[in-house]
Amino acid sequence: MTLNKLSKLILSLGAVATLAACGGGSAQDGIFVISREEGSGTRDAFTEITGVLDENDVDNTDPNATIQNGTDQVITAVSEDPNAIGYISLGSLNDSVKALQVEGVAPSEEAVADGSYKIARPFNIVYKDNLEGAAKDFHDFIFSAEGQQIALDEGYVPVKSDAAAYAGDGSQSGTINVVGSTSVAPVLEKMAEEYMKLNSGVQVNITANGSSAGVEAAQNGTADIGMASRALSEEEAGKVTGEAIAMDGIAVIVNNDNQVSNLSLDQVRDIFTGTITSWTEVQ
């Protein structure tokens, strides 16, 4: 190596060291942000609660974020990348990822119920006009003691602690089409399984394709019941009826090897808007 080349190499290494010393972080330290797609009820609720959605209703999600189209995809992506961060329904949380505390409070059914965990939202079903036949009976099952117990068993907070027992006689028949949120779908599937055991003549078909799609399907009549993992907008509420079937926390998740255990709500916002880009900034 010539003296000239050696000098250039030393200068180059010095520049890298200077960048690191100035707080620029390293590739190994960079935060890999994972968000949900537009139209996701989980994204809508998360961005509103954390302030990623600003006062002008502009979603400021980091433009460099990787977008995943479902809860399972977010979990997989975070579990496979030590620097990743994402958010999912609390009821979908498993041990392949780690849920962070927010403002010192871990996400749990109890913390959602008492309001101490701040990132929480309703799980809604939506429908147009009055439900009839099997769809009405399934609705009644959802809000019965049996239906609400399923919500509790699946890790959600029931909306009716004193619900009456299901009064159906098992005589219902027909097909019920349910469309919408990928977060609400798992608990509705459990409810549908139990309901169909009691009403063998009924087939409940559930399609998980996002909250906005569910609300739209309920509006235009292509679904008997829609699912939304967020509150309805004023415009939507004027066209369909929405009812909360349970409350759910939104867990902020990281890789199991990540040493961070707690974030403030402001730090969550700043990470997902791309203001904070390095894990050392929150350690």
How many whole angstroms separate alpha carbon 240 and alpha carbon 126? Answer: 6
Rounded to 10°, the helix 185-198/133-142 angle is: 110
Q: Is a pLDDT exceeding 50 seen at residue 7?
A: no
Torsion of CA 192, 198, 200, 204, to 10 degrees: -10
What residue spans of the chain are helical by DSSP H? 3-19, 41-50, 71-80, 109-113, 133-142, 145-153, 185-198, 211-220, 234-237, 265-272
How many whole angstroms separate alpha carbon 12 and alpha carbon 40? Answer: 45
Q: Is a pLDDT exceeding 80 seen at residue 19?
A: no
Q: Which is it for the CA torsion 152, 156, 158, 161, positive or negative?
A: positive
Q: What mean pLDDT is reported for the chain?
A: 91
pLDDT of residue 14: 43
**What pLDDT, in 10s, does the model give residues 95-128?**
999 999 999 999 999 999 999 999 999 999 999 9
**What pLDDT, in 10s, does the model give residues 246-280?**
999 999 999 999 999 999 999 999 999 999 999 99
22 pLDDT band (50/70/90 cuts)? very low
Asked if residue 238 lies in contact with residue 207, where contact means CB atoms within 8 angstroms, the answer is no
37 pLDDT band (50/70/90 cuts)? very high
Nearest CA among 91, 109, 110, 88 for reference residue 100? 88
**What pLDDT, in 10s, does the model give residues 142-171?**
999 999 999 999 989 999 989 999 999 999
pLDDT of residue 82: 97
In the chain, how long is the greatest CA-to-CA distance?
Answer: 91
CATH assignment, 32-120+251-281 = 3.40.190.10
122-247 has the same fold as 32-120+251-281:
yes
Q: On the CB side of 280, how many CA atoms lie within 13 Å of its CA?
A: 11
The full set of domain ranges for the chain reads 32-120+251-281, 122-247
Which CATH architecture fits 122-247? 3-Layer(aba) Sandwich (3.40)
**Does pTM surpass 0.85?**
no
User: Above pLDDT 70, what percent of the chain?
Assistant: 90
How many whole angstroms separate alpha carbon 154 and alpha carbon 232? Answer: 23
**Antiparallel, parallel or unpaired: β 32-36 and 84-89:** parallel
